[in-house]
């Protein structure tokens, strides 16, 4: 039995490639995009081809793909070509079903705010309204639209510059930053699956931005060859800037104790336990 399923995009259907890509490239944050056409008709639709790409200037990009089954384009894309403005509303768990409902392919004259039971709020710097239920909303000017192809499934990158952000106080921590537990964000997986960033699903990994970790190659042999530590735990141990002085133990009990300390983000203490 082969270890991998190897797929050449030229040899499978677009639908098959969609399933593979969306199943593997996950989780994906959701841009709940509100737009307006030249006649003032509002559209609201979620897109999981979305992310943050720059902070100065603040740039968000999402991509309404051409429909695979009939190669048509979405109202969101048509709207931003007419009125190059959008509000990107963040979706959390309390509104995920409503955002999914808004993805139905209603006629252009139908207002998805009404269909999904959501409340519009006037924006300050752009014409499309924002979603009152959203924990964070970003008013944006559309800087550029880049077409990635003309076939069904081809994306259209909508490059959006944030001109005003609205963050609900209820999701802020004591320092004024966004608390991920209070945000309770959701993201798309493959098919009908979503995931929820809440509870034990949220964890911390210290960033080695300002210090250089010693790396796997500098781990003492007693630690590197241990059968107790997982690869992630070894990487956490290798993220120390300098090894403590002394010799290190191959005692399994000490290694187990160290793993418990690593789970509590107590890296220095874990290394002290590992000494003879």
Dig out the tokens for 167 from the structure. Answer: 């963050």
| 85 Ramachandran zone, left/alpha/beta (phi>0; psi -120 to 50) | beta
User: CA distances (Å), 72 to each of 37, 93, 144, in order?
Assistant: 17, 30, 20
Provide the token pair at 54: 């720059």
Q: Using omega within 30 degrees of 0 as the cis cutoff, is the peptide bond preceding 129 cis?
A: no
CATH number, domain 9-201, options 1.10.630.10, 3.40.50.300, 2.60.40.10, 2.30.110.10: 2.30.110.10
* Backbone phi and psi for residue 153, each to the nearest 5 degrees, phi listed first: 100, -10
At 27-56, the pLDDT tens digits run: 999 999 999 999 999 999 999 999 999 999
User: Using one digit for the tens of pLDDT, what is the confidence trace for 195-252?
Assistant: 999 999 999 888 766 789 999 999 999 999 999 999 999 999 999 999 999 999 999 9
Looking at the chain, the domain(s) classified CATH 2.30.110.10 span: 9-201
């Amino acid at each position: 039995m082969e270890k991998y399923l190897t797929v050449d995009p030229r040899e499978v259907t677009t639908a098959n490639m969609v399933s593979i890509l969306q199943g593997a490239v996950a989780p994906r944050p959701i841009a709940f995009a509100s737009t307006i056409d030249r006649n003032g008709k509002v559209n609201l639709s979620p897109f999981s081809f979305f992310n943050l790409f720059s902070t100065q200037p603040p740039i968000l990009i999402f991509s309404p793909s051409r429909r695979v089954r009939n190669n048509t384009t979405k109202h969101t894309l048509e709207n931003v070509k007419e009125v190059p403005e959008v509000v990107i509303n963040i979706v959390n768990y309390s509104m995920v079903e409503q955002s999914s409902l808004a993805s139905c392919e209603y006629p252009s004259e139908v207002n998805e705010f009404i269909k999904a039971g959501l409340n519009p709020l006037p924006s300050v710097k752009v014409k499309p309204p924002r979603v009152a239920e959203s924990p964070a909303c970003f008013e944006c000017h559309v800087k550029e639209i880049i077409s990635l192809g003309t076939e069904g499934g081809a994306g259209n990158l909508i490059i959006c510059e944030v001109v005003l952000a609205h963050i609900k106080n209820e999701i802020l921590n004591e320092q004024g930053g966004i608390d991920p537990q209070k945000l309770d964000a959701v993201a798309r997986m493959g098919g009908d699956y979503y995931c929820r960033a809440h509870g034990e699903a949220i964890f911390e990994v210290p960033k080695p931005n300002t210090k250089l970790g010693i790396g796997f190659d500098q781990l003492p042999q007693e630690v590197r060859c241990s059968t107790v530590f997982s690869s992630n735990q070894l990487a956490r141990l290798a993220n120390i800037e300098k090894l403590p002085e002394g010799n290190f133990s191959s005692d399994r009990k000490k290694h187990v104790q160290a793993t418990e300390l690593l789970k509590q983000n107590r890296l220095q203490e874990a290394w002290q336990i590992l000494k003879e």
